[in-house]
């Protein structure tokens, strides 16, 4: 059980960490992703990906694009480092629920849009694959929330 817990922490935290670093690097730092017909992706491109889901109000898409990668970075980083494990897994659970709902919404409405799962470098479209991947990640996150390895110790009974 201890090993399962450790592996899940590293895999889930690692995926979130990687996803966040890619998003932040891609939109804030990198200038390398220039193809013949596209331009350097920036935060506005990622915000456009967010807008395309038509889930948050259009005005708030920028705010989501600005803050989401950093929440992912913190939650993933803390989970990998083993700090506030249950809390960071809870944050990831909440994020996964939102992502799944957004992908489900996009699929239900037939939007053929870029997933944006790993920022603008990820050209995959939303689809059943993304839905299943996120489902697995959600299951992992729920496991980490519900089955913390370190059970809180009960307060020792005080003898009179």
Contacts with other proteins by CB under 8 A lie at: 24, 27-28, 35-39, 42-44, 47, 51-52, 58-63, 65-75, 78, 84, 86-88, 90-91, 94, 110-114, 123, 125, 145
Cα–chain center distance at 32: 24
CA distance 100 to 134: 6
E strands, the chain, in order: 117-120
Least distance to other proteins, CB of residue 11, Å:
19
Cβ proximity to other proteins: between 16 and 134 the closer is: 16
Neighbours of 67 (CB within 10 A): 10
* CB of 155 or CB of 160, closer to other proteins: 155
- In the complex, least distance from residue 48 CB atom to other proteins, rounded to whole angstroms: 8
CB of 156 to other proteins, least distance (A): 19
Could you tell me how many residues make up the chain? 160
DSSP, residue by residue, 35-67: -TT-----HHHHHHHHHHTT-S-GGGHHHHHHH
Question: Which is closer to other proteins, CB of 36 or CB of 158?
Answer: 36
Cβ closer to other proteins: 29 or 159?
Answer: 29
From the CB of 160, what's the least distance to other proteins, in Å? 29
20 or 133: whose CB is closer to other proteins? 20
Residue whose C-alpha is closest to residue 125's, from 136, 115, 110, 117: 115
CB of 134 to other proteins, least distance (A): 19
CA atoms within 13 A on the CB side of 30: 18
């Amino acid at each position: 059980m201890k090993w399962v817990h450790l592996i899940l922490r590293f895999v889930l935290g690692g995926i979130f960490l990687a996803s966040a670093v890619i998003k932040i690097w891609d939109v804030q730092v990198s200038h390398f992703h220039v193809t013949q017909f596209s331009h350097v992706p920036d935060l506005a491109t990622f915000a456009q990906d967010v807008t395309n889901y038509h889930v948050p109000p259009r005005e708030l898409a920028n705010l989501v694009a600005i803050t989401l990668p950093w929440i992912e970075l913190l939650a993933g980083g803390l989970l990998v480092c083993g700090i506030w494990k249950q809390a960071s897994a809870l944050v990831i659970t909440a994020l996964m629920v939102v992502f799944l709902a957004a992908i489900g919404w996009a699929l239900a409405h037939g939007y053929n849009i870029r997933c944006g799962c790993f920022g603008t470098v990820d050209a995959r479209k939303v689809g059943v694959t993304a839905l299943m991947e996120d489902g697995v990640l959600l299951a992992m996150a729920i496991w980490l929330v519900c089955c913390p390895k370190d059970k809180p110790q009960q307060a020792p009974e005080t003898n009179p």
